Amino acid sequence: MSGHKRLLESMGQQDLFAARQARDRGLTRTRTHNSEWLAEAMRLLPAMKLDFHEVTGESIRLWLLTNGLQAPASPHAWGALTNAAVRAKLIEDTGRVVQMAVKKSHARRTPLWRFR
């Protein structure tokens, strides 16, 4: 068993449940405070499917900003948008990760999504 797995098991399920609850509360708060922006982003997002089969959250952000969407009040809204697109079955997880390309992202790994 890996050290990471042992550490997670020693923390117990309680921490995992608490982490998921905190995530869900944050997503709800972000959706509520950015509801108009989120609705406009979800309205525009299906058009991206014409240009791309697979996307990252970063490519979604860049495409939407290039195609007339204003930046949201909170940067957390981008994550809420990805979550909403998954829930709406607009995109699905490929199970793969790629490196981000924008300099400020420092080439970190990010999920690759597929339009449905």
pLDDT at position 19, please? 85
Average of per-residue pLDDT across 59-84: 96
pLDDT at position 20, please? 87
Reported pTM:
0.80
Q: Is the pLDDT of residue 9 over 80?
A: no
pLDDT at position 31, please? 83
For the chain, helix, strand, coil in percent to 5 are: 60, 15, 25
Instruction: Considering only the C-alpha atoms of the chain, give the largest distance between any 2 of them, rounded to a whole number of Å.
Output: 49
Distance CA 60, CA 102 (A): 12
**What SS3 class is residue 68?**
coil
